Amino acid sequence: MLELHLHLDGSLRPETVWDIACTENIDLGCYNAEDVKNKMICPPDCRDLNEYLDKFTLPLMVFQKASHIERFAYELTQDLAKEGLEYAEIRFAPSSSMKDGLSQTEVTEAVISGIRRAMKECPSITVSLILCCMRGSDNHALNIETINVAKKYLGKGVCAIDLAGAEAIFPTSDFEDLFRHAFKLDIPYTIHAGEAAGPDSIAAAIDFGAKRIGHGVNCIYDPELIERIIKENVTLEICPQSNIDTKVFPNVNDYPIKKLFDMGVKISLNTDNRTVSNTNLPHEISLAHRFGMTDSDIETMWKYAKEAKFN
C-alpha cells in the first residue's frame, strides 16, 4: 500500500498533542487526551470544507516548535509503517508553523529529521515530503518562500509542492504565478482542485501543468474535462472519507470513484487527514468497496499511485 495525499497536521496523534500542550502550558480548552481527540475529529454535521479547515486550528497550536514538529513527523511515519505502507508522501505548510519564530527552512528541516529518524527504525517504508503553499489573499511572499525552500530540499527529503486551503474562497486561477515559479525551478507539483470548487478549478490546475490533482472528484460534472484528464495522464488523489466529511456530494451514494475509474481515469486512494477524518487506509479501502470497487480495481489503484509518485 502507498499513499500520495496525506497532511501531517491533520494526522497528529491526539495523545501527543495533549502531552505537548501540558508540557508547554498551551491552553487547548481540553480536559484530557480523549477530549483532544474528540475536538480534533470532524463532526458528522460538518457542512463544508471551510468548517472542516477549522479543525486545523487546534493541532497547529502545538505545531510551532522544531522538537515537537520533528516528533509528530516521526510518529506519523511510524504509524504508516505499522499499517504496512511501503511508500507515502506527507504534506504540510511550513508557513503555518512560524508563530513562535521558526523559519520555513527550520520547519522543513524538523519534518525531514523526523521522517528520517523513523525510516531508520522502520526501513520497510519510504517517506517523501510535499510542501504546501496556502490559498489566501495576502500570503504571496510566504508561498514564494515555500517554493524556494522546496527547491533547496528537492531530492533531499522534499519531492514536490502543493496548493491547499479554502478553494471556494480563493480560486485556483488566482495562483498561476506560483506554479510558473515552481515550473521554472523544475519542482513537480500537485494542486488541491475540484474539492470545494467545480471543474474550472481542475482545468486551471491542469493548465498550470499539474500532473496530479488533490481530490478532483468534481470533474464528474464535465465529460470533456474527464477526457482531458485521461488524455493528459493526470492522476487524481481521491480521499473518500474526507470528501464525505466535507459533503462534496450531498448524497453520499453519488460518490463517483467507481464511475471515474471505469471511465479510465487514473485514481489513487488516500486518507487526506487521518486524525481529522478519523481514518486510515484500511478504512478507505472498505469505503472503496462500498462504492463498488473490486479487489482488482483496488490493486490497479496502488499501481496508479506507484506510477504517479513524485519520488
- Which residues lie near Zn ion (CB under 5 A)? 272
- Nearest residue (beta carbon) to Zn ion: 272
Known active-site residue 232: no
Match 521554472 to its residue by C-alpha cell.
184
Q: Amino acid identity of 203?
A: A
Instruction: Choose, from 195, 224, 232, 284, the residue flagged as catalytic.
Output: 195
CB 288 within 8 A of CB 51: no
Closest among 136, 306, 125, 143 to 212, alpha carbons compared: 306
* Closer of 154 and 196 to Zn ion (Cβ): 196
- Shortest approach of Zn ion to residue 9 CB, angstroms? 11
User: CB 46 → Zn ion: shortest distance, Å?
Assistant: 15
CB 214 to Zn ion: min, Å: 5
Q: Coil, strand, or helix at residue 305? A: helix
Give the residue carrying C-alpha cell 485556483.
Answer: 172
The sign one gets for the Cα dihedral 129, 89, 73, 242 is positive
What minimum distance in Å lies between the beta carbon of 123 and Zn ion? 28
Q: Indicate the residue among 118 and 276 with the shorter CB distance to Zn ion.
A: 276
Q: Would you say 7 or 71 has its CB closer to Zn ion? A: 7
Beta bridge partners of 131: 92, 161
- Total H helices, total E strands in the chain: 14, 8
Give 26 or 60: the residue with its C-beta nearer to Zn ion. 60
Per the listing, cell 527529503 goes with 157
Catalytic residues: 195
